[in-house]
């Protein structure tokens, strides 16, 4: 496993062709920065954007943030050169779009042969074709660099010809099946973007949906979305206090060897102890970030 369970509450996309946005990203409190070469970059600007992304990563200055570069698909005229350049960039991850099968993951893995072993492979889950193969694609994490998925709701809506409403009901089955497949295979999974970047109340409701549905965090398109997103995906005070109570209760001598105990009037089992420990560990890592 090359992807530790680290906080990935907020993952901000920016067009790698936008120098101002790259400069800003070095100071923004997003856990993950994604320099995009794909949909946010016009065909005429692709080659220049690739060079700018690689130069930005080499230059550094992103602090503790994870930095990924999103490549164009291997079926486009830019894909192979993107992967070759990203492999040597020192980025934490390469994000590949429109993955539809285990074969697609295998092709990306092969293209990254010369990349350092620490470089992760992240995949966009955004085609209709992948929905029937989620488990097989996630299982590729056992034998490749694959460690994280990001849902691409705009592309999924386009392919399904479904409407992207605030409730997101047409996408709920695909989103939750993706969460299950990712979890079953130890892959981290981030929710899709909310195109609404001026109305932060709409954004917050969507981020809360993502938390409820099990995502580790959310992908973002605008700096204003970072603060509410980090807040939604950070463990709350009450939740942390409860987790600490569960950990403390299981540590009591009278509870040694027990599988189920009473904590503050509720049942707590060993599975809750595990959840509590994970929550506390994530909270500690978040505290260390800020
Ligand atoms: N990352 C970093 N900085 C960003 C940013 C981003 N994604 N989006 C905007 N900014 C910066 C702007 O450069 C501007 O900086 P400045 O005022 O300090 O010079 C500031 O934030 C305010 O920007 P604003 O005027 O509100 O936005 P805009 O109208 O210029 O741009 C978008 C709106 C949607 C075009 C822009 O946010 C964007 O390109 N988002 C990312 C798109 C993307 O990557 N899509 C692919 C994945 S879905
Ligand atoms: Mg897409």
2 inside domain: no
The residue with tokens 């998925």 is: 149
Q: What is the pLDDT of residues 199-222, one digit of tens each?
A: 999 999 999 999 999 999 999 999
Residues 212 and 279 in one domain: no
- Tell whether 132 and 255 lie within a shared domain: no
Range of the domain at 51: 10-232
Out of 187, 204, 232, a domain closes at 232
Distance (angstroms) between ligand 1 centre and the Cα of 70 equals 17
Cα(247) to ligand 2 centroid in Å equals: 41
Residue 21 CB–ligand 1 contact under 6 Å = yes
Same domain as 186, residue 122:
yes
If asked whether residues 147 and 26 sit together in one domain, one would say yes
Q: Which atom of ligand 1 is nearest to the CA of 152?
A: 48
Average pLDDT of the segment spanning 44-60: 98
Which of the listed residues 232, 253, 268 is the one where a domain comes to its end?
A: 232
Q: Distance from the CA of 222 to the center of ligand 1, in angstroms?
A: 5
Q: What is the rounded distance in angstroms from the CA atom of residue 25 to the CA atom of residue 19?
A: 10
- In-domain check, residue 3: no
Q: How confident is the model at residue 290 (pLDDT cuts 50, 70, 90)?
A: confident
Cα atoms in the 13 Å half-sphere on the side-chain side of 127: 16
Predicted confidence band of residue 289 (pLDDT cuts 50, 70, 90): confident
Number of separate domains in the chain = 2
In a domain, 1, yes or no: no
The reply to whether ligand 1 has any atom less than 6 angstroms from the CB of 196 is: no
Whether the CB of 278 sits within 6 Å of ligand 1: no
Beta-strand pair 260-263/266-269: antiparallel
Cα distance between residue 189 and residue 210, in whole Å: 10
Kindly state whether residue 5 falls inside one of the protein's structural domains.
no
pLDDT cut 70: percent of the chain above it: 99
Bridge partners (DSSP) listed for residue 124:
150
**In the predicted model, is pLDDT for residue 2 greater than 80?**
no
Residue 161, number of CB atoms within 10 A of its CB:
8
CATH number of the CATH domain containing 218: 3.20.20.60
CB 3 within 8 A of CB 37: no
- Residue 4: pLDDT band by 50, 70, 90 thresholds? low
Rg (CA), the chain: 20
* 147 in any annotated domain: yes
Residues 186 and 149 in one domain: yes
- CA atoms of 124 and 78, how far apart (whole Å): 17
**Secondary-structure percent of the chain, ordered helix, strand, coil, rounded to 5:** 50, 15, 35
Per-position DSSP letters for 19-38, written without gaps between them: HHHHHHHTTS--SEEEEESS
Q: Are strands 10-15 and 120-125 parallel, antiparallel or unpaired?
A: unpaired
Q: Assess whether 278 and 168 both reside in one domain.
A: no
Mutate to test the pocket of ligand 1, among 193, 222, 226 (most ligand atoms within 8 A of CB): 222
Domain assignment present for residue 4? The answer is: no
* Domain end point (choices 198, 217, 232): 232
Q: Is the CB of 223 under 6 A from ligand 1?
A: yes
CB 221 near ligand 1, within 6 Å: yes
Sign of CA dihedral 88, 89, 91, 93: negative
């Amino acid at each position: 496993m090359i992807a530790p369970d680290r906080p990935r509450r907020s993952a901000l996309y920016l067009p790698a062709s936008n120098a101002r946005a790259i400069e800003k990203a070095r100071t923004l409190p997003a856990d993950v920065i994604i320099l995009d070469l794909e949909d946010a970059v016009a065909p005429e600007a692709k080659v220049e954007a690739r060079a700018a992304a690689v130069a930005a990563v080499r230059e550094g200055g992103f602090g503790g943030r994870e930095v990924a570069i999103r490549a164009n698909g291997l079926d486009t005229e830019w894909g192979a050169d993107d992967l070759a350049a990203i492999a040597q960039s020192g980025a934490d991850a390469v994000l590949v779009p429109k993955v539809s099968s285990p074969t697609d993951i295998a092709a990306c893995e092969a293209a990254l042969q010369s990349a350092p072993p620490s470089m992760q492979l992240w995949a966009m889950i955004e085609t209709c074709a992948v929905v029937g193969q989620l488990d097989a694609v996630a299982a590729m994490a056992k034998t490749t660099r694959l460690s994280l998925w990001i849902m691409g709701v705009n592309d999924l809506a386009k392919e399904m010809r479904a409407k992207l409403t605030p409730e997101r009901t047409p996408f709920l089955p695909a989103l939750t099946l993706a969460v299950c497949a990712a979890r079953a295979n130890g892959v981290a999974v981030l929710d899709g973007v909310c195109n609404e970047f001026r109305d932060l109340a709409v954004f917050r409701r969507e981020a809360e949906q993502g938390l409820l549905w099990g995502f580790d965090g959310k992908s973002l398109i605008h700096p204003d979305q970072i603060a509410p997103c980090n807040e939604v995906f950070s463990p709350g005070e009450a939740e942390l206090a409860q987790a600490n109570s569960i950990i403390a209760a299981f540590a009591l001598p009278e509870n040694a060897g027990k599988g189920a105990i009473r904590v503050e009037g509720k049942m707590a089992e060993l599975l809750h102890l595990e959840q509590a420990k994970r929550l506390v560990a994530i909270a500690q890592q978040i505290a260390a970030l800020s």
